[in-house]
Amino acid sequence: MLNSYIENTLQFYQEKCINCLICTQVCPHGVFTEGKEHVELTKPSACMECGACAVNCPVEAIDVQSGVGCAWAMIGAALKGKDMDSDACCCGEDGCC
Ligand code: SF4
Ligand code: SF4
């Protein structure tokens, strides 16, 4: 089953997921959470399209078009000393990521 969202380009193919949980560990916004047979896409709108989950998924169960949002978020977080775990955008710009 394909889950895709209009807010961003994140796509999760749960039938491919082997429940390794890597995506839950690398995602800075907690978009994926542990599930029984596969991870759950619990906060899709929080995705900032950094691409970490897709790069690290061993079975290509995640697809996302990495944009500039992550770079801005990381730069903003570094400059402002903010935590990347927050749901709010780290760069302070509305709608940035
Ligand atoms: S692309 Fe980045 S922010 Fe989006 S779900 Fe994957 S790791 Fe999380
Ligand atoms: S990294 Fe891929 S295989 Fe592993 S839990 Fe996440 S979606 Fe499933």
25: domain CATH number is 3.30.70.20
* Residue-number span of the structural domain to which 41 is assigned: 11-80
Determine the atom of ligand 2 nearest the C-alpha atom of 62. Answer: 7
Q: Would you call 19 exposed, middle or buried from its count of C-beta atoms within 10 A (0-12, 13-18, 19+)?
A: middle
Classify residue 86: in a domain, yes or no: no
pTM above 0.75, yes or no: no
Classify residue 28: in a domain, yes or no: yes
Q: Whose CA is nearest to atom 3 of ligand 1?
A: 47
**Spacing, Cα 95 to ligand 2 middle (Å):** 27
Q: Are 68 and 48 in contact (CB under 8 A)?
A: no
Determine the atom of ligand 1 nearest the C-alpha atom of 48. Answer: 3
Nearest ligand to the CA of 34 is: 2
Number of domains in the chain: 1
User: pLDDT by residue (tens digit) across 28-42?
Assistant: 999 999 999 999 999
**Spacing, Cα 4 to ligand 2 middle (Å):** 16
Q: Which residue has the tokens 């560990």?
A: 25
Classify residue 44: in a domain, yes or no: yes
User: pLDDT by residue (tens digit) across 39-74?
Assistant: 999 999 999 999 999 999 999 999 999 865 555 556
- The pair phi, psi for residue 54, each rounded to 5°, is -65, -40
